[in-house]
Every structure is written in C-alpha cells, then in structure tokens.
C-alpha cells in the first residue's frame, strides 16, 4: 500500500520546524551583526562601554525582532489566503471554465482529467501573458490549490508536454510542496526585511534629507548624512539575511524538483512529455518571467526564472539527463545528435509499493494523492463520452447547480424536488429539466465525478451565492423525508471540493485513531450495516476494527448509527494525522468489502469518508 501522499502531508507539516530553525538562526545572526556594527560605531564616541551597554543590545534585538516578526506574519497571512493570491502576484488571469479559446480549453481539459483521476478538487487555472515557458502550483493544501501557466507554454508545447508539466505541478500539490513554498516565502521576506529597510535609508531617505538646505535650526542635512551611513551599515548586515534567505530557498526547493520530475514520469508513463518541455526551455525558449514577483516566488515555478548562484532549481541539463535515464528516448536522441552522450533508456516503472492494488476498495485508498496512467485514461475516456450538454452544463453556474439538484433528487419521489427547484432557483430550472435523464443515466460514481467537474463553477458563485445554492440543495435532499448515503456522499464532496476554498488556514492534524476510538467505530459500523446483510454486519465491522487494533468489537447500538453521528465522527477524525487517516480508510475498505464483492456503492462510501478526511481519492476507480 502506498503511503506516499499520507507521509508527505505529515512531513510537509513537520518541515515547519525546519523552517523555524533556519528562520531563528538567520534572525539571530542579523541581530548580533547589527549590534556589533552599532557598538563599534558608538565606541568611537562613548568609549568601550558601548560594548557592554545593555540598552544598545536590547534596542537592536527588539527593533530587528519586531520588524522581522511583523513582516513574516503579514506575508504568511497574505499567502495563506490561497493559491489565488500567488497567481495574482505573478500577473495571472483566471481562465473561466466556459472559455472557448482552443489553447485554454485544451489546458483545462488536461487539468480536469487529472483532477478526476486523482480525486483532487479541480483547481482554478491561471494564465500569465508571458512568452516564456513556465508554470507553477500554489496553495496551502490540495483543496485550495491553483495551477498557473504562461501563454508561451500553451502556444509552444504539445499536449503530451503540457500534460507532463501539469503532472509535475500535481506532484507538488500531492506532496505538500506548495504549503512549504508559501511558508518559505514568508520566512525569507522576514529575514530580508532588515536589509530592505537599510537600503531605503541609504538610497532614498538619507539622500533626500542630506540635500535639504542646512542651517542653525535645520539639522536635516546632518541627520541625512548619518542616515546614509547608518542605512549602509544596516543594508550590509541585512545582506547577510538576504544571503541566508536565498540559501533557505535553494535548500528547500532543488531536491523537490527532481522528485516532482520523477513523479510526473510515474503518473503519465511518458518521460518524453516533461523532458520535451524542459528541452524546449533550454534550447529555444526561456523560463524567465517578466513579473516583478518572479524573484520572490521563483521556488514556486516549474523552471527557474533567475540565473543566480543559489538557484532554486537543478540545472535543466541535469533534469533532462535523469529523465533520459527513465526512458525519455526522443530527448536523449536529440542530445546524442548534437554530441551529448545519450544514456541507455529504460522503461519507467513505479515502485512495487506504489502500484495499483487489485482489490477495488483498497485500490481507491492506494491511489490517494497520486496519479496512474490507468486512472488518467479512465478519466479521459469518461470525459470524452459525456454528452456535450452535460459537459457544457458542468462549466456553467446554472448547469452546475442543476446537476447537483438532480444527483440529490429521488427518482421515485421527484415531484416535491421539481417544485422546489422551480420556485427557489428558477435560473437553474431549465437546465434541471433538460438534464434530468442524462444525469440519471450516470452510475453513482459517475454522478460524483460529475459533481467534481462542476465544483469550479459552484465555487465561482462566491460565499453568498453558494450559501443560497446549498440551502436549496438541502431542501431537495429532505424532500423525500430522508437523507441516504448517496446524498451524504454529495455533501462531503461539495464540502471538500468547494467549501474548503472559502476557509482560511489549514486544519490541525495531530490526533491518533486510538484517541478517537468511538468515532472510528461509528464510521465502520455505519458502513457495515449499510453495505451488508444482517448476517455479515458484525463480521464486517470486526474486520475493520481489527485492522485499526481497537478493542470495541461489539457493534454500536442502532441509536448511535445516524447520519448526524457519522458527520460528527468524521469531523473529529479529520483532525488525525494523515498516516492515521490512511489506516482508517483501509479499515473502511475492508469493512465495505467483507462479503468479498466490490461494487460502485462500496467504493463510493470509501471515497465519501476520504472526502470528509480531506484525502484525495478518485471516484471512477470502480466504473
């Protein structure tokens, strides 16, 4: 069973400690250096006591500490708003889901297919009107990430090459790199703040005062001259902080780029795709962005936008060489033709622990936070076979709402739901009527994948519009006087794929299953009694409990097994560490398939619990 996604998410959170260490070390070095410079300067006037005067040290430490803390917290708050903020800083423009531009439509299709194949919410896609070839992923977690590309990438890369680049960016999302990158940016901004203040004093404020007309009652020129000297000293000391910040940026990013390249090959089984994109950047185009924010955000990008000593990306030749060793035949042949040695190609393969398990429910868990060529092909085929009316509707606000109403609608008791939609959401009523038969033809997992496809259009409603839609959807769900697991699955999907985009800040993840035994048992018991005959309920439940190593082997009472208790249980379990969530999902899969069969409904249940736990699991694995 692959634990790559789960361990990566936990490790990404642990990286905060490493960043804090670098941060504190850089700040202390800046404080000590600046104190030494001021003490040396003052010793010429007040003597050796300047070195032992605690007021100088306290003033420097409080001043530097205050500036660095304020700047770091401000930048962290700015970047925690979501990937959209970083896209805007780089000059990105959101591509609307309804675009008819051929290049933009192809890009959105690739992103949608990969999201459906991985279970990650379809991210907003941004385009930067820049002729270079570059891309980025940004966001605090998989549910609030965005992807951006340059116009040069869309215009100059083939579909396979674009897919390779996008797969690389999905790897960053899966492995928590986007969260680490945001925190790294905030830390670097804080450390560099002192040097920037010194530069402003030296280059602007000091000279402006020094040029003013002096006199007995106007000490401005003397103050200006002192500020120039002081600013130069602060800038010189702050440059050490800038150097330290660049070292952090390089140390955090370079190895992760190699890993993302390798992951892109694993996901697509096409090393020539990403290798071809890198070769075009090296040989014909540039990765350099014109955006003023490119320097600050360089470690977010697919290819470096800077030529510096402390590069955040490995050399492109080295990246291509490694990809050629994974089987990038076309690029290796082109390099050989120009005199570069061509490594012997070998077929790219995933580690045995990362191959798709054969049991359907466990396969869904094993595919969490990754991509497989089989699931990408499945998603591509599914999207291609969707009726055009459904595809078009999923990209529009009214159509997306209508699709969700229809998924929640009970075909055997539809009159009340039809009347509710007509009276409460008349804008969606026409699409609701025309799409009813098309939605009904989709399987249960197909309907959930359709809701995934509609999520960006629902997110574009904004909080007020989305709240009105959810109120109507709730009425439609209750119109048949019951809420079943299919409707609960839709609710969990919307919570993860849409509503988490409206939430700021990642949720804490530090608990264990052992600390929440009652909640875990409720989830397993509801799956057991819902999916099996009474004769196997207890056995199914015990299989899941045994996998978790829990002691409560007796099924909870019927009064405990309600959708309200299920909602509360998964809410609390979502505070567990990601490696614990993997164990819980494995237990859910074992419980669901205790009778030896694997149905769409059973995979749907596992997927719904995964949504509640904020774990990306594809909906189409059982189709």
Q: What share of the chain is helix, strand, coil (3-state, %, to 5)?
A: 70, 5, 25
Residue 50, burial from CB neighbour count under 10 angstroms (0-12, 13-18, 19+): middle
Task: Record the tokens describing residue 3, joined without a space.
Answer: 């634990």
SS3 string, 149-184, reads: EEHHHHHHCCHHHHHHHHHHHHHHHHCCHHHHHHHH
Q: How far is CA 389 from CA 41, 113, 171, 385, in A?
A: 75, 18, 32, 11
Terminal CA-CA length for the chain: 21
- The catalytic site residues sit at 169
pLDDT of residue 557: 85
Determine the 3-state secondary structure of 216 from DSSP: coil
The Cα–Cα gap between 349 and 266 comes to 7
Do 401 and 494 contact (CB within 8 A), yes or no? no
Q: Which residue has the tokens 């200006």?
A: 224
Determine the 3-state secondary structure of 593 from DSSP: coil
Query: Is the backbone of residue 327 left (phi > 0), alpha (psi -120 to 50) or beta?
Result: left
Q: How far is CA 260 from CA 135, 176, 520, 607, 615, in A?
A: 13, 11, 34, 25, 20
The Cα–Cα gap between 31 and 37 comes to 10
pLDDT of residue 3: 40
Determine the 3-state secondary structure of 136 from DSSP: strand
Q: Which residue has the tokens 């990105």?
A: 92
The Cα–Cα gap between 305 and 297 comes to 9
Determine the 3-state secondary structure of 516 from DSSP: helix
For the chain, what are the domain ranges?
Answer: 4-81+182-257, 84-179+267-337, 356-366+507-623, 386-502
Which one, of 551, 562, 567, 558, lies nearest residue 534 by Cα? 558
Contacts of residue 296, defined as CB under 8 A and 6 or more positions apart, other chains included, come to: 89, 185, 188, 189
Which one, of 470, 477, 545, lies nearest residue 502 by Cα? 470
pLDDT of residue 347: 36
Q: Within the chain, which residues score under 50 in pLDDT?
A: 1-3, 340-359, 622-623
Do 248 and 184 contact (CB within 8 A), yes or no? yes
pLDDT of residue 334: 59
* Beta strand 92-94 pairing with 125-128: antiparallel
> How large is the angle between the packed helices 578-592 and 600-612, nearest 10 degrees?
160
* Beta strand 135-138 pairing with 146-150: antiparallel
pLDDT of residue 623: 43
Q: How far is CA 171 from CA 102, 120, 174, 267, 292, in A?
A: 26, 11, 5, 9, 26
Strand partners, 449: none
Which CATH fold topology does 84-179+267-337 show?
Zincin-like (3.30.2010)
Q: Which residue has the tokens 């919570």?
A: 495
The Cα–Cα gap between 3 and 9 comes to 10
Q: In the 8-state DSSP scheme, what is residue 204?
A: I
Which one, of 146, 120, 7, lies nearest residue 619 by Cα? 120
């Amino acid at each position: 069973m692959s634990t790559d996604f789960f361990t990566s998410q936990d490790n990404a959170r642990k990286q905060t400690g490493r960043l804090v260490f670098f941060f504190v070390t850089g700040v202390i070095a800046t404080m000590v250096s600046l104190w030494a410079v001021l003490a040396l300067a003052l010793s010429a006037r007040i003597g050796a006591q300047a070195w032992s005067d605690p007021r100088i040290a306290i003033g420097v430490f409080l001043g530097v500490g205050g500036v660095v803390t304020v700047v770091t917290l401000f930048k962290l708050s700015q970047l925690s708003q979501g990937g959209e903020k970083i896209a805007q800083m780089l000059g990105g423009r959101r591509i609307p889901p309804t675009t008819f531009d051929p290049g933009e439509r192809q890009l959105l299709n690739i992103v949608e297919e990969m999201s459906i194949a991985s279970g990650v919410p379809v991210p907003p896609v941004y385009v930067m009107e820049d002729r270079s070839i570059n891309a980025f992923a940004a966001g605090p977690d998989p549910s609030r990430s965005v992807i951006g590309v340059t116009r040069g990438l869309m215009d100059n890369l083939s579909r396979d090459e674009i897919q390779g680049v996008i797969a690389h960016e999905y790897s960053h999302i899966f492995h928590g790199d986007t969260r680490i990158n945001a925190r790294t940016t905030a830390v670097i901004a804080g450390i560099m703040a002192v040097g920037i203040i010194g530069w402003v004093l030296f280059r602007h404020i000091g000279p402006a005062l020094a040029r003013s007309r002096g006199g007995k009652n106007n000490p401005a020129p003397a103050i200006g001259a002192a500020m120039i000297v002081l600013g130069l000293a602060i800038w010189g000391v702050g440059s050490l902080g800038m150097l330290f910040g660049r070292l952090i940026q390089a140390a955090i990013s370079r190895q992760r780029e190699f890993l993302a390249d390798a992951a892109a090959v694993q996901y697509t089984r096409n090393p020539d795709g990403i290798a071809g994109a890198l070769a075009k950047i090296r040989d014909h185009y540039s990765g350099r962005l014109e955006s003023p924010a490119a320097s600050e955000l360089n470690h977010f990008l697919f290819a470096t936008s800077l030529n510096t000593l402390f590069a955040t990306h490995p050399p492109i030749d080295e990246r291509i060489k490694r990809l050629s060793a994974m089987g990038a035949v076309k690029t290796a042949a082109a390099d050989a033709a120009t005199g570069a040695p061509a490594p012997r190609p070998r077929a790219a393969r995933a580690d045995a622990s990362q191959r798709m398990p054969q049991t359907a429910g466990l396969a869904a868990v094993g595919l969490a936070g990754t991509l497989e060529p089989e699931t990408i092909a499945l998603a591509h085929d599914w999207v291609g076979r969707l009726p055009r009316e459904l595809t078009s509707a999923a990209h529009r606000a009214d159509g997306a709402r209508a699709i969700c109403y229809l998924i929640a609608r009970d075909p055997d008791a539809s009159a009340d739901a039809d009347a509710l939609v007509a009276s409460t959401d008349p804008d969606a009523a026409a699409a609701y009527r025309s799409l009813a038969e098309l939605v009904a033809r989709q399987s249960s997992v197909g309907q959930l994948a359709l809701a995934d496809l509609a999520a960006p259009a629902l997110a574009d409603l904004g909080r007020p519009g989305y709240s009105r839609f959810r109120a109507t959807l709730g009425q439609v769900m209750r119109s048949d006087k019951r809420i079943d697991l299919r409707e609960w699955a839709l609710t969990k999907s919307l919570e993860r794929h849409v509503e988490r985009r409206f939430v700021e800040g990642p949720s804490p993840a530090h608990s264990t299953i052992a600390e929440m035994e009652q909640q875990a048992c409720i989830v397993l018991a509801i799956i057991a009694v819902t999916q099996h005959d009474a004769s196997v309920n207890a056995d199914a439940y015990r299989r899941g409990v045994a996998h978790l190593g829990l002691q409560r082997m007796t099924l909870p009472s019927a009064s405990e097994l309600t959708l309200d208790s299920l909602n509360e249980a998964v809410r609390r379990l979502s505070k567990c560490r990601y490696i614990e969530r993997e164990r819980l999902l494995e237990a859910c899969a074992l419980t669901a398939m205790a009778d030896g069969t694997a149905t769409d409904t059973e995979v749907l249940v596992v997927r719904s619990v995964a949504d509640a736990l904020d774990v990306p699991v594809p909906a189409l694995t059982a189709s």
